Chain A
Amino acid sequence: MSARFEPITGRYMHLDLFDRPHRIYVEEAGEGTPLLCLHTAGSDGRQYRGLMNDARVTARHRVIAFDMPWHGKSSPPAGWHEEEYQLTSAQYTTMVLEISAALELDKPILIGCSIGGRIALHLALEHPESFRAIIGLQAGAHVDPYYDLNFLHRADVHGGEVAGAIVSGLVGPDAPEKERWETLWHYMQGGPGIFKGDLYFYKLDGDIRGRVAQIDTRRCPLFLLSGEYDYSCTPEETLDVADSIPGCEVTIMKGLGHFPMSEDPQAFLTHLLPVLEKISQA
């Protein structure tokens, strides 16, 4: 009686990546300037449900989120059961560019959070011509490991329970309970070793400290937004990156944590909408 459908539609894309066939889940809502969304480590595209359900965004943007291979409703490639998943900067860059091309997106705005924010910095440096603007959420140049990552993937520790518990404190204190626990549920649903494999990029392979100052915001505008309560990528780390890049605009979001678009979409939109407006006027 009270059924209601969201304006989001999902499809499965078949695409060769890294010389292997992949089945990738892509969902989208809205029309207009493409806004390509990258989820955090160990989670999936559901993190952008708030943007896709907000008419202030979708009236002028085609909001698109894909689940990275091995994540969400995307499959791991055939043969996965004999492999250890490990994300690298090169793979991640290729994945974003290839999926954007396959969707025939014309210079999308890119928005990415955490590992997505880090690869946003890589793309701002190496492929600025491919994007209209780049928005990095919780984007820092590097994070040192601060716990033994092996606990994320061992048979005597439940992977879903530990992934959810590891990140629970990264949600800001004011997040609505429903959105907080939805965000953590995505982490609890991750496949064995996937969060850990993503963190290989985040904490080891994806270090961009030595090159981040070379980003040229005249070629592609760069906006960084970080939550105050993020202790993984701290506001100070985001401010350091912003200070080293002329023309980079930075916002520290009071009360928010590491998953702004998912933990508290309404609070996050108060920060994002002005950025989208500014991009549309450029």
Chain B
Amino acid sequence: MTGVETEMIETLQQRVNDDQGLVRRGRYLTTTFLLEVGHACWLISIFEGRIVSVTSGPFVMPSSAFALRAPEEEWKKFWSERPPPGSNDLMALIKRRVLKAEGNLQIFMSHLRYFKEALGKLRAAAGGA
């Protein structure tokens, strides 16, 4: 990841927190998950629907409820302005076995719309970069 892309990931906090509807739908969600983009990773902490921190790795012993891991080129397609078929949704990446969702997935699945929309926020960030 280049520096520009690292900054892009870190815009997640404001982009999510600025969306009142998204925060409201996540009001019972408090967790920390690991986002892995190729060899780079971030711990993203959420408290009652608001992202409270996006911390860049590498980490020695990262603790998270679950992790979302995919190669950089797959995330780039997912975050492109008009993702191609098969790259337009987290479930599409999972179907193609390129996104690995690991850990306590009850948290992920019970707030699936939240996580899809939150990570989709970086699509706008990529478009503006």
Contact = CB atoms under 8 A, between A and B. Distances in A.
Given A146-B94, A231-B95, A151 B82 contact: no
B113 interface: yes
Interface of B: 82-83, 85-86, 88-92, 94-97, 105-106, 109-110, 112-113, 116
A162 B92 contact: no
Given A148-B105, A151-B105, A173-B82, A168 B113 contact: yes
Nearest to A156: B106
A228 B116 contact: no
Nearest to B86: A231
Interface in A164-193: 164-166, 168-170, 173
Contacts of A232: 95
Interface string A205-232: 0000000000000000000000011111
Given A161-B110, A165-B113, 14 more contacts: A146-B91, A151-B105, A157-B109, A157-B110, A161-B113, A162-B109, A166-B112, A168-B89, A168-B116, A170-B89, A170-B91, A173-B83, A231-B85, A231-B96
A162 B88 CA distance: 18
A230 B96 CA distance: 12
Contacts of A151: 105-106, 109
A271 interface: no
B88 A147 contact: no
Contact of A169 (B82, B88, B97, B110): B88
Nearest to A231: B92
Contacts of B94: 146-147
Contacts of B82: 173
Nearest to A143: B95
B116 A173 contact: no
Interface of A: 146-148, 151, 156-158, 161-162, 164-166, 168-170, 173, 228-232, 234-235
Contacts of A147: 91, 94
B110 A231 contact: no
A195 B84 CA distance: 27
A147 B94 CA distance: 8
A108 B92 CA distance: 35
A161 B25 CA distance: 11
Residue from A147, A161, A165 with most neighbouring chain B CB atoms (10 Å) = A165
13 contacts: A146-B94, A146-B95, A151-B105, A162-B112, A165-B112, A165-B113, A166-B112, A169-B89, A229-B85, A229-B88, A231-B88, A234-B85, A235-B85
A162 B91 contact: no
A197 B114 CA distance: 25
A169 B91 contact: yes
Contacts of A169: 88-92, 116
A165 B105 contact: no
A144 to B, nearest CB: 9
Nearest to B95: A146
Contacts of A173: 82-83, 88
Contacts of A235: 85
